[in-house]
Amino acid sequence: MGLLVYPSIEVAHKIINYTAMKIDSHQHFWKYDPIKDSWIDDDMSRIKNDFLPTDVQPLLAQNGIDGCVAVQADQSESETHFLLQLASQHNFIKGVVGWVDFRAENIEERLTYFSQFKSLKGFRHIIQSELEDDFLLGKDFCNGISLLIKFGYTYDILIHPRHLRYAVEFVKRFPDQKFVINHIAKPFIKDQLMEGWLQDITLFKNFRNVSCKIAGLVTEADWNLWQHQDFKSYISIVLDVFGIDRVMFGSDWPVCLLAASYGQVCEVLEKNTSFLNIEEKSNLWGDNCAEFYQLVDTRKV
C-alpha cells in the first residue's frame, strides 16, 4: 500500500454523483519553514516542502471534490491571515479554520477584529501538543471559547484518545456551541487498538452539537502496509456514534501524503462506506460540512 496511485475512474465518478457540492473538510497549506514547522520531523521528510492551493487543486478535480476548508497548522494569528489571504485568491477554498489565543485577556477584541473576514468560519488549537491533558478545561481557555457563539464561529477539537474524557466535559459546558472532533480523535489504528478510545468516543452519541471529521486515518495506520479493511471498524463506530448527519470527509492533505495519495484517502472512505445510500453519501461527502461551516456554493453565485 506504499504506492501513491489515484482511485479508479469508477470510484471518482461515484464520489462526483453523491452531492451538489463535494467538500474536503480538512486541508492544510504552508510555506515550509524548519523553525515554524519543527513538528515535521525527519520521519516526515515527504512533507518538508511548500504545499499551496495550486498543488492540491488538480487533485480535487481528479477526485470530484469542489472545494475545501483550510485548517490552521501553526499557533499564530499570522497563520490565520495567511489562510485568509489564500481563500481570497482561490475560490475553491470555501472556508478557513484559524487560530487565536483563547486565553488572552483581549480575546473578545480579537474575535471582533476577525469577524470582518467572511471566509473565517471557526478556530482550532493544537490541544494534542499541550502538556496538560485537561487543557480544554482551563478557566481562561473556556472563557475564550464561551465567546465563539456570539460571533457564530465553530471550534475544531484536535486531540488524542487520552483527551476524550476531558473533551466530553468540555462540550457539556457549551451545549449551544458547534464543535467538530478532528481525525476521529486519532485512535491507534496501526495496532488495531480500540480500548479506551471506543468507550470514550461513544460518550458523544447524544451531543447533537458535536460532529466528527473522518480524516487523518491513514497516518494513524502503518504508513507502508495499511489495507482498506484496517479502517472498517473505526469508520463503522464513528458512523454509529455520530450518525450520518454529524460526520464529514476530510483528507488531511498534505499530511496524508506520509501514507497515501489524495486519491487513496478518498478510496479508503468510499470502500468502507459503500453500504450508504445516495442521500447519506451526500451528507458525508459535502452536505454536512457545508451546513456545519455555513459554506456558500460559489458555483451558483
Q: pLDDT tens for residues 84-98?
A: 999 999 999 999 999
Q: pLDDT tens for residues 105-152?
A: 999 999 999 999 999 999 999 999 999 999 999 999 999 999 999 999
The C-alpha atoms of residue 78 and residue 49 are separated, in whole angstroms, by 19
Residue 175 is classified by DSSP as T
Q: What is the pLDDT of residue 300?
A: 55
Q: Where are the domains of the chain?
A: 9-300
The interaxial angle of helices 262-272 and 9-16, nearest 10 deg, is 70
Q: pLDDT tens for residues 8-55?
A: 333 443 443 444 799 999 999 999 999 999 999 999 999 999 999 999
In terms of residues, how long is the chain? 301
Q: What is the pTM of this model?
A: 0.92
Pick the CATH number of 9-300 from 3.90.1150.10, 3.50.50.60, 3.40.50.2300, 3.20.20.140: 3.20.20.140
Q: What is the mean predicted confidence (pLDDT) over 242-248?
A: 98
